[in-house]
Amino acid sequence: AEPVLQLEDLTVRFQLKRGRLTAVDGVSFTVHRGETFGLVGESGSGKSVTARSVMRLNPSPPSEVVRGRILFEGENILDKNDSDMRELRGKRVAMVFQEPMSALNPVYTVGAQISDALRTNLGMTKKEAQERVIDLLSLVGIPSPASRFKNYVHEFSGGMRQRVMLAMALSCDPTFLIADEPTTALDVTIQATILELIRSMIDRFNMSLIFITHNLGVVAHTCDTIGVMYASHIVELGSTNEIFANPLHPYTQGLLNSIPRLDTQQKFLTPIKGLVCNMLEPPNGCKFHPRCEQAMDICTQEIPQMKEVTPGHFAACHLHN
């Protein structure tokens, strides 16, 4: 499949009152047509800033892209004007969030909101839009969609709100979906059904997906490829099978040891020791070194570069140099 989204050396800086912070540092990866890409890491690692850069949703100021390119279908998003960006957000790339209330307006019925988007973005008539909304609500598994059309967001349960937000995201036939922790706030069984729903929509419409999560276990069955982020860098990149079978970076190994596994008799999970990196004063060398049990002298001095360790499997760690 051809590449749809290519991030090349993306570097995003925030100028805050407390100081300057590089939230995304030299991030490069490619997502192909139909591919599902999991972006995994702790909160504050730069996952959401990376994803929002694709939609150009990071407020500027205080954020600034200081280096790199974001090619979407071959065109650099960073060169686009505001009207091109509106077109891109409305029709080609859609995003779902952890909190549906941030995407859905509480004072309009969900039917009115989604049909407004359809009329604005696709020029549908009122009647066409209404029919399409009912189809969409049914597609994402909302029971009696015709009668739910006139409901407000608060009249839906947490899981149903996520379905409504997904319907909104799918309304304009995007080719690319970005899901930022869409299941984190839900309980485990609802998480699984929403994940399954997203996966089936991706397959059905041959979309590409970036799925953001702090839980490596969540992407095991959802994503083809995984990028692990730590403290603004991608530290490991490879196929999901490779990452689970042969994790190269100590941080990825730590993430794997901290997820519950059904296939072993493991009694205790081992959280990664140490504190999350302070991004305003990151350590020299490998940013993971204060927490790494395998750290060597070089790790405190030199930032490890991304290296292809086995075909298609990359890691940024001095153990693999």
Which positions touch Mg ion (CB under 5 A)?
48
In the numeric block, the tokens 């395998």 are attached to 294
Residue 294 site contact among ligand SF4, Mg ion, none (CB < 5 to 8 Å, cut-off depends on kind)? ligand SF4
Size of the site for ligand SF4 (CB under 6 A): 14
Residue 245 site contact among Mg ion, ligand SF4, none (CB < 5 to 8 Å, cut-off depends on kind)? none
Closest distance of CB 283 from ligand SF4, Å: 9
| Partners of 130 in the β-ladder | none
Determine if 147 is a binding residue for ligand SF4 (CB under 6 A).
no
Sign of the Cα pseudo-torsion (256, 95, 306, 61, in order)? negative
Cis peptide before 62 (omega within 30 of 0): yes
Residue 317 site contact among Mg ion, ligand SF4, none (CB < 5 to 8 Å, cut-off depends on kind)? ligand SF4
Residue of 55, 85, 185, 295 interacting with ligand SF4 (CB under 6 A): 295
Determine if 55 is a binding residue for ligand SF4 (CB under 6 A).
no
C-alpha separations of 38 from 19, 177, 236, 246 in Å? 30, 12, 12, 17
Question: Which residues in the 203-262 window bind ligand SF4 by CB under 6 A?
Answer: 249-250
C-alpha separations of 269 from 212, 230, 287 in Å? 22, 20, 24
- Rounded CA-CA distance 199/74 in Å is 25
Closest distance of CB 192 from Mg ion, Å: 21
Determine if 319 is a binding residue for ligand SF4 (CB under 6 A).
yes
Question: DSSP character for 98?
Answer: S
Determine if 321 is a binding residue for ligand SF4 (CB under 6 A).
no
3-state SS class at 95: strand
Cis peptide before 61 (omega within 30 of 0): yes
The nearer residue to ligand SF4, 15 or 301, going by C-beta atoms, is: 301
Residue 295 site contact among Mg ion, ligand SF4, none (CB < 5 to 8 Å, cut-off depends on kind)? ligand SF4
3-state SS class at 21: strand
Residue of 286, 306, 309, 314 interacting with ligand SF4 (CB under 6 A): 286
Binding site for ligand SF4 (CB under 6 A): 249-250, 286, 288-289, 292, 294-296, 299, 304, 317-319
